[in-house]
Structure 1
Amino acid sequence: MVRKIAFGVLWLGFVFYAFVLAPPNQPDTFELIKNLSTGQWQGINPLVIALFNLMGIWPMIYSALLFIDGRGQKIPAWLFASASFGVGAFALLPYLTLRKTNPAFPGTKNTLIKLLDSRITGIILTIGTVILVSYGLLQGDWSNFIQQWQSDRFIHVMSLDFCLLCLIFPALLGDDMARRNWQTQLYWLFALIPLFGPLIYLCLRPPLPETNVNVVSNQKVGV
């Protein structure tokens, strides 16, 4: 219960800060979002470009856990995972508030879960992330980014959203490792290294074991 309350308070606090306390929107915000979304990146700080695209990587990282975690939840995890592609932690924090601990995976994997469970998915996401981070760090203008962070609500909130996504990942990590019967001291590596820790986890985690529902049902009735 304490955990649910903490996530609920964090979500409400983030919403309040983003819409009340954050710097104001700039007149060209919509144009900036449109250009970032359509690849018209001329004149845009590479740090902003990298950050914007990394905010598309994060929902895929979370989807690799959420669609599996949702199999044992009463709430539709796919809805929150899908919404996170547009609003990031604004969608994931309510899910973390409402979900229950779920260290088991009932049933078999469908095509989507097989794809999300694949280490190849983790490797592809890691390669894309390395390219984006390298581009942003090597080509970006930090003084310009700081100035925009201080004056532009979109960039300001997007940056905080990125930090929150790094912070809350461990809330799903423990159950996902338990579902795989994977006990390793690498937990803290996955949990504490921002962005690359979760990516390393997706590349290394053992395949998700499947449970034959019919066998489990027969065992319960003594057949």
Structure 2
Amino acid sequence: MSPKHTNSLSDRESETAKRRTGRPAFPRELVLAAADGLFADASAPKAVTMDDIAAAAGVGKGTLFRAFGSRDGLLDALFMARAAPLRDELEREDSRMGPSVPPLERVLAVLDELALFKLNNQHLAAAREQPGTRLLRSPHYVWTHETLAALIGAIGPEAAESADYWAHVLLGALRVDLIDELLAAGRPADGIRHDLDALARRLLTPAIDRGPAG
């Protein structure tokens, strides 16, 4: 598993930053909350600009670019912060996707949680999953893909051989533009989750017969 990320300075780091610069430490959580609100309220999330976020958070636009590098970088940070509970669940023994769950069932549980995450964060996904934004290299996609591929690989040797590709395929079924299209066509959220589960079972179940990965 990838190391957990933290989005806040410790009290000591914060005080050190104040002494060095004479200014308060960067209000990261406030900025992320302001951005989240703007994307959630926007009729076209891709139209939300760094100027809008800076104004809502009460910081300078240059400060945002220094902190996040770009609008996509800010969205990536927001995604990673929102996904923190999901990462924690992967480590909990009593979780439905924890380490003691059988490999296939663990993959299915993770996919369902990812589907719920996408359904509950469509505004963020719509803002981030734009053509030309190098989505597959974003931190949240890289973490999600690597985690899912590792879980698939634990199913058996055949699954391990194709885990990288299969993880991309299953994540592709969670693209927000596809989800939006299905919802608009009348497919309910629970139906989308059911279809994803059926797809994953059809793809991965045959690999179990090969035995556990060595």
Q: Using structure 2 for the length normalisation, give the TM-score.
A: 0.32
Greater relative CO (CA pairs within 8 A, separation 6+): 1
Q: Using structure 1 for the length normalisation, give the TM-score.
A: 0.31
